[in-house]
Amino acid sequence: MFKALKSRYIGDKDFYKSVLSIAVPIMIQNGITNIVSMLDNIMVGRLNTEAMSGVSIVNQFLFIFYLLIFGAISGAGIFTSQYFGSGDNEGIRYTVRFKVIIILIASVIGISLFAIFDEEIIGLFLHESESSGDLALTLEYGKKYLAVSLIGLVPFAFANVYASTMRETGEVLIPMISSLAAVATNFALNIILIFGLLGFPALGVVGAAIATVISRFVECFILVIYAHTHKERFPFIASLYSSLLMPKGLFKRITLKGVPLMLNEFFWAMAMTLRNQCYSTRGLDVVAAQNISSTVFNVFSVVYMALGSSVAIIVGKILGSGDIERAKDTDRKMIALSIFSGLAMTAFMVVASLFFPKIYNTTDTAKALASYMMIVSGITMPFNAFANASYFTLRSGGKVLITMLFDSVYMWVIVMPVSIAFAYFTSVNIFILFAICQGVDTLKTIFGAALLKRGTWANVLVGKGERAESEQ
């Protein structure tokens, strides 16, 4: 029996070599990004609770934009991976054009909404309580940080177009290098601009925003310049911007896959943000604690998140070659690896909860609550790992509507009503509220297991005999 289980869920040396060659660079890239973000967070957290909370609130709404961009390019990314598997560079070129069109539209809408309704969206997280802190000061910090941050949204979007396309076509090193350059820039400038070193004025949260914006441009420039100066490695780059036109048939197919994914990411991110807003009804200490906890969680989640992204790339490529059974077998073993990684990260989260919150210049109440949130979040990691891998599995085969049901619809139909009910219609403390909301979220793994067991996700969307240029 053990031998059968091993054969089913554990790969051989070549399997892990193949998976890790894709996953490790993504882990390094995202890991360093999140570690530097954590250090940035600590720097702002050394100012005061209001500054940290203001920046945290803004970043939660920027998170919605980031995932909107991710979702906007994910639909095209499904086709990119499969066109790469079938050797169709013209098809890849069209998918990149689609990404550019959609991120430009999303950027204009996102920046406009943030600029017009800055005070209203930040104010959603500001609630009076016994230990609320200075809400007006928190709002002011948030508005200043957001105003500067908006400048970096367009380069962020373009960087994601190029980085995602490179990964989908097997190049993971350059996106990693560009990210390392960006985070190094961000970290160095944060130290200088937040605290006023080397003759610069101490700009506080504005300095943090400036550093982030500059780092976005650095990352974008590296990716764009490298791609356009290495056309032999990226042949789809040739004549990329000679026109933004693409075959109507392909545009329709990507739209049918891409719009649900974009909406899914948007509504999921919105639900996550509003769930945090429910937590904030218990006071500003909760906002500070959630900021600390989520920062650490993001660092330790990079392992299973990278494995999930690898599922989309590796399984999508195998599906593009037409080998359905190998795609299913590879996917099953990658999911097992993701769950194991989640279990390992649980232990790290629990250990970190003992000392990490003490670094911040905030109240003892916020520190104690942050430790508790970190432990609860750590316990959910294996479930999150499975859900994440399930999401990318369904996405790799083009099951975007089912993906939406599994992801964002579950959040809005199940998680959000529970969160709102307990936050606004009961007096339960934040400890119970947080545990209930996190627990309900993990239940979706049951639905993920059922969807994967059916096996209907494994679909070939393109093939060697199907060329993009024929889809007129």
- At CA 23, angle to CA 19 and CA 24, rounded to 5? 115
Query: Would you say 395 and 260 are in contact if contact means Cβ atoms under 8 Å apart?
Result: no
Query: Would you say 304 and 381 are in contact if contact means Cβ atoms under 8 Å apart?
Result: yes
**Among residues of the chain, what percentage have pLDDT more than 70?**
89
In a domain? residue 465: no
Segments forming the whole domain that contains residue 348: 13-455
For the segment 190-203, what is each residue's pLDDT rounded down to a tens digit? 899 998 888 888 89
In a domain? residue 266: yes
More confident of the two residues 92 and 29? 92
Question: The whole model's pTM is what?
Answer: 0.72
Name the residue among 323, 321, 331 with its Cα closest to residue 391: 331
Number of domains in the chain: 1
For the segment 406-429, what is each residue's pLDDT rounded down to a tens digit? 778 888 999 999 999 999 999 899
Q: How far apart are CA 207 and CA 51, in angstroms?
A: 12
For the segment 300-338, what is each residue's pLDDT rounded down to a tens digit? 888 888 888 788 778 777 776 677 777 778 888 888 888
pLDDT at 6 over 50: yes
Across 6-10, 103-107, 268-272, least confident range: 6-10
In a domain? residue 23: yes
In a domain? residue 466: no
Q: Give the chain's end-to-end CA distance (angstroms, integer).
A: 52
More confident of the two residues 255 and 463? 255
CA atoms within 13 A on the CB side of 125: 32
Question: Judging by beta carbons within 10 Å of its beta carbon (0-12, 13-18, 19+), is residue 196 exposed, middle or buried?
Answer: middle
For the segment 132-154, what is each residue's pLDDT rounded down to a tens digit? 567 888 889 899 999 999 999 99
In a domain? residue 335: yes
Q: How far apart are CA 401 and CA 399, in angstroms?
A: 6
In a domain? residue 311: yes
